[in-house]
């Protein structure tokens, strides 16, 4: 930020010239910092950049040897990191990302190791990742168009307002909170195959929308007992809507605890219970107040496929709304083995 001081002259009302008195005024100048792009061209975790600000983890060798760790150390607000190599091996030496930076793999780079984000307004795009992306107290981060071949995405320490978009997660984690609260995050357009599905332990105001969850080892989508007011909309569970490929879920389609969730327009099949609404009365946590409308449970949106679950909807807790006053609010429940709605 820059400032300019401007003197002002004053003339007395009688027009006579006398010693001028000056008052300095302060005017803010626009920030003209040029954003930098650091290109990672060297594998490894060595170095913190060079003294002249260039990304060079080995100044003794001619040319710049820019590692991922050196680029992260040098990058500051809204700088970018790109890659000219195909593989980055971080192992256990993953750096902490403490500045709001943009990391873009361009679709041809694999990072072996974790990416730990502590800053707001960061982005990670177009990478293949054998590890986790972990969000620590971050907000407005964008994690998009990545392929996770191991690990997945974790919300840590009250992360809020982040955007998890169009990722393909085939690792063992899925998309999950750990022991912390997630607020107002957008989880949209992701494909999660195997692993833990989508799991929010605690939080409110999150949108889980238009995701595909196939072959989860447990439940496909889980909202824990301390979740409130989340929206699950337009997801496809147990079947790929683009190909009608069926990949069964080991647990339930949607396992819903907490209070006041909206569950609308989902297709859920090939699971134990399509939608299970639960409470935890033994621990004083009474779930309920959910709205369940316009879902396809055991069949697809055309109602032409047999995607039967063992049970359609299982209900406990209070004040749940299944369907609604208009015909269009109803759920299509078909082909389930042992019952459509179980109380």
Please tell me whether residue 5 adopts helix, strand or coil conformation.
strand
Region of residue 87 (left: phi > 0; alpha: psi -120 to 50; beta: else): beta
pLDDT at 284 over 80: no
Give the pLDDT confidence of 115-152 residue by residue, as tens digits.
Answer: 999 999 999 999 999 999 999 999 999 999 999 999 99
Q: Which residue has the tokens 């709304």?
A: 321
Q: Which residue has the tokens 């986790």?
A: 132
Other residues' Cβ atoms within 10 Å of the Cβ of residue 7: 9
Higher pLDDT, 52 or 77: 77
Rounded to whole angstroms, the Cα distance separating 85 from 106 reads: 11
Give the pLDDT confidence of 212-266 residue by residue, as tens digits.
Answer: 999 999 999 999 988 999 999 999 999 999 999 999 999 999 999 999 999 999 9
Please tell me whether residue 69 adopts helix, strand or coil conformation.
helix
Closest among 305, 309, 302, 312 to 333, alpha carbons compared: 312
Rounded to whole angstroms, the Cα distance separating 338 from 343 reads: 13
Confidence class for position 56, pLDDT limits 50, 70, 90: confident
SS3 content of the chain, % helix, strand, coil (to 5): 5, 40, 55
Contacts of residue 13, Cβ cutoff 8 Å, sequence gap at least 6: none
pLDDT at 310 over 80: yes
Phi, psi (deg, nearest 5) at residue 282: -60, -30
Phi, psi (deg, nearest 5) at residue 329: -80, -10
pLDDT at 71: 93
Give the pLDDT confidence of 7-53 residue by residue, as tens digits.
Answer: 555 555 555 555 556 666 666 655 556 899 999 999 988 766 565 67
Least confident stretch, 9-13, 126-130, 306-310, 317-321: 9-13
Phi, psi (deg, nearest 5) at residue 40: -75, 120
Q: How far is CA 132 from CA 104, 107, 176, 229, in A?
A: 16, 18, 11, 27
Beta-bridge mates of residue 267: 236, 296
pLDDT at 45: 81
């Amino acid at each position: 930020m820059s400032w300019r001081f401007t003197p002002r002259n004053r003339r007395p009302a009688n027009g006579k010239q006398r010693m001028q008195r000056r008052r300095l005024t302060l005017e803010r100048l626009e920030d003209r910092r040029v954003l930098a792009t650091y290109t990672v061209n060297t594998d490894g975790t060595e170095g913190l950049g060079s003294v002249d600000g260039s990304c060079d983890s080995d100044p003794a060798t001619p040319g710049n040897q820019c590692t991922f760790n050196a680029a992260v150390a040098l990058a500051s607000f809204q700088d970018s990191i790109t890659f000219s190599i195909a593989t980055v091996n971080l192992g256990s030496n993953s750096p902490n990302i403490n500045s709001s930076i943009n990391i873009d793999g361009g679709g041809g780079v694999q990072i072996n190791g974790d990416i730990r984000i502590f800053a707001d307004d960061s982005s990670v795009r177009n990478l293949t990742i054998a590890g986790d992306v972990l969000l620590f107290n971050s907000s407005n981060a964008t994690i998009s168009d990545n392929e996770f071949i191991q690990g997945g995405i974790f919300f840590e320490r009250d992360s809020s307002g982040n955007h998890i978009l169009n990722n393909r997660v085939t690792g063992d984690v899925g998309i999950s909170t750990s022991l912390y609260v997630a607020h107002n995050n957008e989880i949209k357009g992701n494909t999660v195959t195997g692993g833990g599905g989508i799991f929010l332990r605690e939080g409110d105001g999150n949108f889980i929308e238009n995701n595909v969850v196939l072959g989860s080892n447990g439940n496909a989508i889980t909202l824990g007992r301390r979740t409130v007011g989340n929206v699950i909309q337009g997801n496809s569970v147990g079947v790929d809507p683009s190909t009608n490929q069926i990949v069964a879920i080991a647990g339930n389609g949607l396992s819903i605890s907490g209070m006041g969730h909206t569950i609308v327009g989902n297709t859920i099949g090939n699971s134990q219970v399509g939608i299970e609404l639960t409470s935890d009365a033994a621990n004083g946590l009474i779930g309920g107040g959910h709205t369940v409308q316009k879902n396809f449970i055991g069949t697809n949106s055309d109602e032409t496929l047999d995607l039967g679950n063992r049970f359609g909807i299982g209900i406990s807790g209070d004040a749940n709304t299944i369907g609604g006053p208009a015909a269009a609010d109803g759920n299509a429940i078909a082909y389930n083995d042992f019952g459509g709605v179980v109380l």
